[in-house]
Amino acid sequence: MSIASRYLQYADAFEQSYVDDDWSHVESYFTENAVYEGEPEARGRAAVLQKLKGGVDGFDRLMDTRTPDFQEPEVEGNTLTMQWAVTYSKAGCPDLTISGLETAVFEGDCIASLRDDIDPAAQAAMGEWMAAHGASLHPTAFHE
């Protein structure tokens, strides 16, 4: 199976994990010693899964909707890159679109290293959105 095909299976499994909060769907797509680069870095499959879940729980689930848009991945050797964008909506707030580049380095058919680089303009837009509307994401902002 090609790296691109395997990665697309992982992306589908990630979306399933997002829906049902069962992160075991993506477990087999990572090496035992996988690394998710970034601050903070996650080392080891269990830590990577926890970081993925934490990111979703800490932001995506606080929004009303999440609409991902993924470009066709590009592969060079054992490295896959993919441009992505996700548009979030929250009642009473303007939509927020975050975009970036995901890089996955494979060992065999498993991801050994994963990194997301958010586009600088998207990072600035997110900072502005959070400054203006971030309070709406606080659990006490939810209506009863």
pLDDT value for 38? 87
pTM of the full predicted structure?
Answer: 0.90
Q: Say which residue the tokens 């080891």 belong to.
A: 44
Per-residue pLDDT at 141 exceeds 80: no
Residue 79 has which token pair?
A: 């490295």
Over residues 26-40, the pLDDT tens digits come to 999 999 999 999 888
The domains of the chain are located at: 3-138
Over residues 75-96, the pLDDT tens digits come to 999 999 999 999 999 999 999 9
Number of helices (H) and strands (E) in the chain: give both, helices first: 4, 7
Q: Please report which confidence band the pLDDT of residue 139 belongs to, taking 50, 70 and 90 as the band edges.
A: low
User: Could you give the CA distance from residue 66 to residue 79 in angstroms, rounded to a whole number?
Assistant: 27
Q: Please report which confidence band the pLDDT of residue 112 belongs to, taking 50, 70 and 90 as the band edges.
A: very high
Any idea which fold 3-138 has?
A: Nuclear Transport Factor 2; Chain: A, (3.10.450)
The answer to whether the CB of 32 falls within 8 A of the CB of 44 is yes
